[in-house]
Chain A
Amino acid sequence: MSDVCIVGVGIHPFGRTDGLSGLDQGVFAVRQALADAGIDWPQVQFAYGASEAAGNPDTMVDRLGLTGMQFINVRNGCAAGGSALFSAQMAIKSGEFEIGLAVGFDKHPRGAFNALPAEYNLPDWYGEVGQMVTTQFFAAKIMRYMSMFGISQETLGKVAEKAFRNGAHAPHAWRRDPVALEDILAAPLVSDPYTKYMFCSPAEGGVALILASEKKARELGKPLIRLKAATMRTRPPSSFEVFAPSIDVLADDTKPRGTASRIASADAFRLAGIGPGDIDVAQLQDTEAGAEIMHMAENGFCADGEQEKWLAEGHTEIGGALPVNTDGGCLACGEPIGASGLRQVYENVVQLRGDGAGRQVPGAPRTAYSHVYGAPGVSAVTILER
């Protein structure tokens, strides 16, 4: 079967844009992606749109043109963008369509995410006692991981330091000022062991990707960025997830538990027919600094515990063996849920085209990997190749 290709990308800068709705930012990204692909809106045959908190994406046809096209809204937590992309590529692979859009945007209020128990089928008391808080999970997960695999708080600090340094070179990033490691480590704790610089913040932004069949992509004369795999998976038994009032006990609890990320990753590599060692650049969910550390292992790039050495030796820097989160990731860009997973793919397209300027991975990367994770235990992975 021929590949699905990404022929156009667009992004509205992440962060806070007063006066622009989430939908406005999504429309902005779509127009940029259309221009990048060299096509007009009427040529777009279908769309999948993701938004968690900024309204129904299909309402953007009002602004882009009432062509009567198919437009399906996707709501799938933190995997919403990945799910939109997965669905769009399936629509093309099926032969039903030749060219379409995956778009994601969001606009969240300031402060931590404010989930309500009922949305996750949890009893009200769970929220009343103060446990409906995502940061608690992330902190408790890395706390145990650090104790099992000897990861230091300083290594968490290095992840954040790298994020802000990379973000400084990404025009779409929100936090674009480098922060010194000692300032990151000395900042107030939010949820131990994380200081305030080690968590990303809910934010705003929009991303649009135009996908086409290989035949159509050749007609458009664009460089072929092939989507070799796109997977979305849910959690396995006995995993530890966001908003978990209880976790299974295991007879042998000395190994890391299964996760949705491990499943999505293994399946993506199987579909692409390559392995972690073949990847030239990776965008890994870094809701917080420790997530990047744990996701390096969950996605197969290193063994559990090796991250301490990897960070110390700079393997995940722009010029390292496996550059990770080249645009500063969620830490520097913030997390508009509907757009976040698509931002990673946007950044990968930029890297594969060689358009990364100050953050460009050297050596003309050919393969790029993206990974999102979120509540209540969902993950989406893509592998691109040029």
Chain B
Amino acid sequence: MTGLQNRMGQTWDGSVMKAIAPGLFTDEAEPRLIGGKDRETGRIVFPCPSAATYEPVPLSREGTLWSFTVQRYRPKTPPYAGPDAFAPWVVAYVELPGEVIVEAPLYGAPFEEVKIGMPVRFVPAPLNPEDADSAFVPAFQPIGDAA
């Protein structure tokens, strides 16, 4: 089975690629975000807290854009660890239906086409697209690929 390709045409492969932190998404060919489900209340948060009161649960791959902005200047380093050569990106809040709204970059959509309510899909992407060894970060891209 072929996984979903990110904006670089890459498919996630946990045997050769590294995530920016452990426990953020599953190691499937088509990874899913890992949320934390409160064992008492059922409330889901992201990322999954280390406390034993939260159960790690894989989240839906698809959701809709809840809100967004465009990050148009390079954030300060530290803590930002992205490339020195700055390119603006869409900061998205994505509603995974019935689960949780998560914050992540939305790649592969022209800024003027980004609209609240648009369907998007989870596809990890490298933080630095120019670096073959870049860590992968949780990210989304439009469904019906505009890229």
Write the residues of chain A forming the contact surface with B, with a CB cutoff of 8 angstroms. Answer: 111-112, 114, 116-117, 123-133, 135-136, 139-141, 143-144, 147, 188-193, 244-249
Which residues in A have their C-beta under 8 angstroms from that of B24?
A: 125
Which residues in B have their C-beta under 8 angstroms from that of A189?
A: 70, 72
B76 pairs with A143, CB closer than 8 A: no
A224 to B73, CA, bound (A): 48
A114 to B77, CA, bound (A): 9
Q: Does B57 contact A (CB under 8 A)?
A: no
A191 to B67, CA, bound (A): 13
Which residues in A have their C-beta under 8 angstroms from that of B122?
A: none
B93 pairs with A249, CB closer than 8 A: no
A78 to B21, CA, bound (A): 30
Which residues in A have their C-beta under 8 angstroms from that of B20?
A: 125, 128-129
B80 pairs with A244, CB closer than 8 A: no
B69 pairs with A139, CB closer than 8 A: yes
**When the two chains form the complex, which single residue of A116, A136, A246 contacts B91, counting CB atoms closer than 8 Å?**
A136
Which residues in A have their C-beta under 8 angstroms from that of B96?
A: 249
A246 pairs with B67, CB closer than 8 A: no
* 6 more CB-based (< 8 A) A-B contacts, given A112-B75, A141-B67: A136-B71, A188-B72, A190-B72, A245-B103, A246-B44, A248-B101
A246 pairs with B21, CB closer than 8 A: no
In the complex, how many residues of chain B place their beta carbon closer than 8 angstroms to a beta carbon of chain A?
42
Which residues in B have their C-beta under 8 angstroms from that of A136?
A: 69, 71, 91
- B5-24 residues at the A interface, CB under 8 angstroms: 20-21, 24
A378 to B47, CA, bound (A): 22
B47 pairs with A192, CB closer than 8 A: no
A245 pairs with B81, CB closer than 8 A: no
B116 pairs with A143, CB closer than 8 A: yes
**When the two chains form the complex, which single residue of B67, B73, B138 contacts A143, counting CB atoms closer than 8 Å?**
B67
Q: Mark B124-147, 1 if CB is under 8 A from A, else 0.
A: 000100000000011000000000
A125 to B103, CA, bound (A): 13
Which residues in A have their C-beta under 8 angstroms from that of B73?
A: 112, 190
A245 pairs with B46, CB closer than 8 A: yes
| Complex A-B: 15 CB contacts under 8 Å | A123-B47, A127-B79, A128-B20, A128-B80, A128-B82, A129-B127, A136-B91, A140-B69, A143-B68, A189-B70, A192-B68, A249-B96, A249-B98, A249-B99, A249-B101
A192 to B91, CA, bound (A): 10
Q: A114-B76, A127-B78, A132-B80 are in contact. Are A246 and B46 (CB under 8 A)?
A: yes
Q: Does B102 contact A (CB under 8 A)?
A: yes
A249 pairs with B69, CB closer than 8 A: no
Q: Does B97 contact A (CB under 8 A)?
A: yes
Q: A112-B76, A249-B95, A249-B100 are in contact. Are A143 and B69 (CB under 8 A)?
A: yes
- B53-96 residues at the A interface, CB under 8 angstroms: 66-73, 75-76, 78-82, 89, 91, 93, 95-96
A123 pairs with B21, CB closer than 8 A: yes
Q: A125-B20, A132-B79 are in contact. Are A247 and B101 (CB under 8 A)?
A: yes
- Give me the 3 closest cross-chain CB pairs, A-B, nearest first: A127-B79, A139-B69, A144-B67
Q: Does B39 contact A (CB under 8 A)?
A: no
Which residues in B have their C-beta under 8 angstroms from that of A126?
A: 79
Which residues in A have their C-beta under 8 angstroms from that of B79?
A: 116-117, 124, 126-128, 132
Q: Does B31 contact A (CB under 8 A)?
A: no
Q: Which chain A residue lies CB-closest to B92?
A: A140
Q: Which chain B residue lies CB-closest to A194?
A: B69
A246 to B98, CA, bound (A): 13
Q: Does B45 contact A (CB under 8 A)?
A: yes
B67 pairs with A130, CB closer than 8 A: no
